[in-house]
Structure 1
């Protein structure tokens, strides 16, 4: 007992000193400014998404009102006016664009994000909810643009605002173009206009376009994140047959409707030759990892050089894989005749084509002429093809995406992809900027609603997109 008491007596001054230090430290901490906490990105992103969905930006209304709201948020967050510019073509006052810049340390050329603000039209009478008001219901967020692409716009803007609040300085500038008229095929496409009139603001070494990306899931299982390196070129031909016509009581074999119909029937049975690119070969090879059975075997067989003909035949019977194997042309409109009791003097059809990068407009036209196999069918160009070269798969883009994806979803496969549709990447690729479609907002492949009724995205999927976008934006801003 005596020993314990004496030991406590010896320790008591030490304990008192320690206690005094702790009290003093607490006082200093209380008076010092607290370290800034990370902003609640999820709440900010939802608020931004609501504002974007609730601000109608269909082609008849335009994107200028929404562009002003985007600029206002950037300025309020501390971006200088020169780094949050509202740019509106004089002859198209509704086609507003915003270009934002987060300055880096100058170690590399900028990275550019493309984010279109416009959406396709939506008839409220067809929807079960107001398409122009963000509605949450049973774990889903409904509204026109939630998938294409205001959900991604909100995630990108949130990431910019967060990095600004964190005083983050990337190694190279991060530039974001919030643009007009992607969906309309527009009179004044935003990206095309910016590249022509304001190239200095958007010039970049690397382009990331979430609109061209795809994150696919089925039955609640995340399967892959795509890296779109190329797109099929979109163009349209007109096929037309003319004749002198006459009275319907005196039919002839030269009836333009019959001749055109017979040519279209031949086209319906035709397949363009298989044309595999570096991207589609790697796509099939990597996609096989998430498939089973015969489909898996066929994808691996198609990825080989040369590809297996039997595997090609089987994959050609499925729309999803057939469109990756070859150029396609299909009839989308037909018109003929001028009176019920007269032989037609004219019949015409629109042929919409999606051309594999590396093939030419002229070669496709020559193939169509051969397949239609009728010299009376005149083929002319309605909408010419815009060349869209394939962006390289070499370099660090795939490893970079893989790193970020696997931090969040370790089992998800990274797939190089060729887009069957078209996006604004065609403009940046045409001027020599390596452009990649990348998106982390998982959508059900069996219930895709982009451009459709009751467009929606999962609440959880949107939250994950916000996180993914922030991580990827920081990662690609590093000099490599």
Structure 2
């Protein structure tokens, strides 16, 4: 077998994956992940693995493979990444989102940060190690999933429900949205490792009233009832709730920035984080944002019903408080039902896996400080946690100080620096040796 170099391969792997259209609009109408899954499976098979492609529906494909470790008695490690990406409007982009173009030192395209970059780094590291005959200390399970961008019904959730045996022995996992750097100064960088995720409550609100002519008096107007409920929810000021992970992040960040952390004014610290404040600020409290409204069919007809959608996110440990508040804000004449509901997760930032992540970062960047943070969104980790797997977000990238990395998730002109991909390969290689 030809000996491969992951640093040399990773850019090409990332470009290839971006060029495969795997957009997911959430209605099961897109191209699916089958083509991307076949590409991944082929790259794994080239280095001696026997990957399985599992379709949950037509074109909705997942790839699973297991690497035997030196000590099979130890708990296995899961490396997971999703193959789908959110849709795009190519006219808004500087470079076509399916081009995988390399320009200005970056690989451009949809999925460059969410999360075909990590998929490529996993592939590059695995291919390098297996071509060199290097087995990991313990079993490693690889999962490249479908449908993460729509909640994982055809991906991680389906795998956990229908094929849980493929993850037998897995005790820990790493996945997306963590391990990226935020510069403190020229010599120091924070590396944010996801240790918690907010729960998800996508809700449909419905108000029912009395239909009638638009010119007449109507005290049971469904549109009015709904609009008032949506206004109350959208304007509600949720109280700050400092969870264990959020408090640790703010304490560590304050020390690094050499500012005083006041637990009674956490937003003051967050305000000093620049563009990252958008992501971190949402983890100080529960949130609920109205996103859709629908009612009526003619200007002079008062409709009988009106509906709205709300994107709710609740902190670990605060789900009960979240729904009690939502129900109070709804009022007596508006009901709610779930479009999608999933758990919050949180784990402590300690143990051998955390040490392996920290040490591997420090070996490649002596100015690194690994800190835990809470993700305001959600990942496939929620599904895998139901199998008893403790997980973190760790897709290591050393980033330029002026790159608005968090702003490119689901944004336009998504791109990842070439040097960051190569850095990630080196860190992941060290991590697999240490874990």
**Worse overlay, 169-178 or 391-400:** 391-400
Measured at CA, do residues 135 and 111 of structure 1 come closer, stay the same or move farther in structure 2, by a change above 3 Å? same
Q: Determine the C-alpha separation between the residues in 1 that align with 2:8 and 2:185.
A: 24
**Worse overlay, 440-449 or 462-471:** 440-449
TM superposition shift of 1:253 = 4.4
Measured at CA, do residues 268 and 119 of structure 1 come closer, stay the same or move farther in structure 2, by a change above 3 Å? closer
Match 1:368 to one of 326, 332, 336: 326
1:211-258 CA deviation, whole Å, 9 max, x = no partner? Answer: 131413359966322221221111122333222132222234443333
The residue number in structure 2 matching 1:24 is none
Q: Determine the C-alpha separation between the residues in 1 that align with 2:386 and 2:315.
A: 15
Query: What are structure 2's unaligned runs of at least 5 residues?
Result: 25-29, 272-276
TM superposition shift of 1:457 = 1.0
The residue number in structure 1 matching 2:310 is 351
The residue number in structure 2 matching 1:202 is 167
The residue number in structure 2 matching 1:460 is 419
What's the TM-score once normalised by structure 1's chain length?
0.80
Match 2:33 to one of 40, 63, 72: 63
TM superposition shift of 1:100 = 2.0
The residue number in structure 1 matching 2:377 is 421
Measured at CA, do residues 368 and 100 of structure 1 come closer, stay the same or move farther in structure 2, by a change above 3 Å? same
TM superposition shift of 1:94 = 0.9
Task: Please show how residues 252-271 of structure 1 align to structure 2 within 5 Å.
Answer: 252-271=218-237
The residue number in structure 2 matching 1:301 is 262
Query: What are structure 1's unaligned runs of at least 5 residues?
Result: 1-35, 303-307
The residue number in structure 1 matching 2:86 is 120
Measured at CA, do residues 319 and 387 of structure 1 come closer, stay the same or move farther in structure 2, by a change above 3 Å? same
| Higher share of residues assigned helix | 1
Measured at CA, do residues 37 and 348 of structure 1 come closer, stay the same or move farther in structure 2, by a change above 3 Å? closer
TM superposition shift of 1:154 = 0.9
Instruction: Return the index of the structure with the highest Cα Rg.
Output: 1
Q: Is the 8 A contact 2:246 2:283 kept in 1?
A: yes
Measured at CA, do residues 410 and 219 of structure 1 come closer, stay the same or move farther in structure 2, by a change above 3 Å? closer
Q: Determine the C-alpha separation between the residues in 1 that align with 2:341 and 2:205.
A: 17
TM superposition shift of 1:367 = 1.2
Report how many residues are paired.
420
Q: Is the 8 A contact 1:103 1:170 kept in 2?
A: yes
1:410-449 CA deviation, whole Å, 9 max, x = no partner? Answer: 2222111111101000011122111111121245336732
Q: Determine the C-alpha separation between the residues in 1 that align with 2:85 and 2:360.
A: 29
Q: Determine the C-alpha separation between the residues in 2 that align with 1:471 and 1:463.
A: 13
The residue number in structure 1 matching 2:355 is 399
Kindly indicate whether residue 38 of structure 2 is the aligned counterpart of residue 72 of structure 1. Answer: no
Q: Determine the C-alpha separation between the residues in 2 that align with 1:116 and 1:263.
A: 36
Q: Determine the C-alpha separation between the residues in 1 that align with 2:197 and 2:115.
A: 18
The residue number in structure 2 matching 1:432 is 388
The residue number in structure 1 matching 2:65 is 100
Q: Determine the C-alpha separation between the residues in 2 that align with 1:397 and 1:387.
A: 23
TM superposition shift of 1:321 = 4.2
What's the TM-score once normalised by structure 2's chain length?
0.88
Q: Determine the C-alpha separation between the residues in 1 that align with 2:332 and 2:162.
A: 44
TM superposition shift of 1:332 = 1.2
Q: Is the 8 A contact 2:210 2:218 kept in 1?
A: no
TM superposition shift of 1:363 = 4.1
Q: Determine the C-alpha separation between the residues in 1 that align with 2:327 and 2:45.
A: 56
Q: CA RMSD in A?
A: 2.6
